[in-house]
Structure 1
Amino acid sequence: MQATKTRRSNKDRTDATRADLIAAARKLFTEKSYAETGTPEIVAAAGVTRGALYHHFADKQALFRAVVEMEAKAVAAEIERAAERFDENPGIALLAGSDAYFTAMRVPGRTRLLLLDGPAVLGRAALDEMDLRHGNRTLREGLAAMMDAGLIRRLPVEPLAELLGAAFDRAALAIEAGSPTDDYLTALHAIIDGLAQSAK
């Protein structure tokens, strides 16, 4: 029994150290950028040793990848929470998920991490692969549900999700730069409505 408690305690400490490193790194990466942030700053902000950093992450890039993955998961979770309220209507669910994407991307630093520094540091292929598990996955599922319900004509889901996803990302960047959110929502809703019209 004591050994079990010790193992659990060790895991809790390990998880807490990892979480502290990710949180400290996220703050610094968004405030200063990846390039301008050094590992000594990260470990100081996290209150851990340099050895602890390299115990959990191979290098600064690996830590950055963990930060970006965490942000991508958070965005996908926001989309899913919004869409699942309308499971009975895939069209409304997709629109609700679209709105939720922009809400999620308003979290300070998220656009920079996912759409600017992420591709620059990790490479476009790595970000695309990550997106396939998170944001793009929710979009693919939403589009497939609309096709299955006969709400839009059947099209290749992967390319359609990729193209729409790029439009969402471009809109998020424009909104971050000060463009009106409602204008982009209106345009993207019109694109989705257009897909629905093509099924009639």
Structure 2
Amino acid sequence: MQQESPRRSNRERSDTTRAAILDAARGLFVAKGYAETSTPDIVSAAGLTRGALYHHFEDKKALFHAVAERESRDVAASIEQATADGLTARDALKVGGRAYFEAMREPGRIRLLLLDGPAVLGKHAMMAIDAANAQRTLEEGIAEAMAPTVVPADKLSAMASLLSAAFDRAALDIADGASTDLYAETIGTLIDRMVST
């Protein structure tokens, strides 16, 4: 029983160190961009050693990947929270779209997920991050909204991918000053047309 406490303490210390590295890296990636951020900058901002960084992350790219994953999980959690209460599938897609726009207002999130993410990690890695967090629930939402029509899995995946791209483009435009209401309404129209076919 006494041996569990040091193990838990070591795990807690490890988790705290990892979180400190992620927080410092996120701040620098947002402020300076991936290319201009060095690992010495990150460990200095985190108040840790390079050894601590490399204990948790293979390199700067792996660290950026972890930051992007955490951001994507946070966005997905915001969407799930907004759509948790007894909505129809169609309304959940629309409410989820608005929740996505709100979640993407978090400072730096556009840069991390929509600009630097694809440039640093590549399209396939970002698609895998999205698939692990939001793609599956988006596919499920579309399938439920289109019931009783059964949509083949490949078509459902393509529909979710295209709708996701529309959300991303709208988030970029909103970040540049476009109306959130206008884009939410327009996405709603797109959803209505997509699921009524």
How many residue pairs align between the two structures? 195
| Structure 2 unpaired stretches of 5+ | none
Structure 1 ranges of 4+ moved more than 6 A: none
Kept in 1: contact 2:94–2:184 (CA 8 A): no
The normalised TM-score by structure 2 is 0.94
1:91-112 Cα deviation digits (max 9, x unpaired): 1111111111101101000011
1:85 aligns with 85
Kept in 2: contact 1:79–1:138 (CA 8 A): no
1:140 aligns with 139
1:103 aligns with 102
| Structure 1 unpaired stretches of 5+ | none
Distance 1:81 1:157 in 2: 23
Report percent identity of matched pairs.
53
Which structure ranks higher in relative contact order (CA pairs < 8 Å, sequence separation ≥ 6)?
Answer: 2
Q: How does 1:126-137 map to 2 (within 5 A)?
A: 126-137=125-136
Of 180-189 and 8-17, the range deviating more from structure 2:
180-189
2:31 aligns with 31
1:119 aligns with 118
1:74-132 Cα deviation digits (max 9, x unpaired): 11111111112135x11111111111110110100001100000000001111011111
2:66 aligns with 66
* Paired AA for residue 31 in structure 1: A
Of 176-185 and 42-51, the range deviating more from structure 2:
176-185
The normalised TM-score by structure 1 is 0.93
* Paired AA for residue 45 in structure 1: A
1:39-67 Cα deviation digits (max 9, x unpaired): 11110111111100000000011110000
Kept in 2: contact 1:94–1:143 (CA 8 A): yes
* Paired AA for residue 162 in structure 1: S
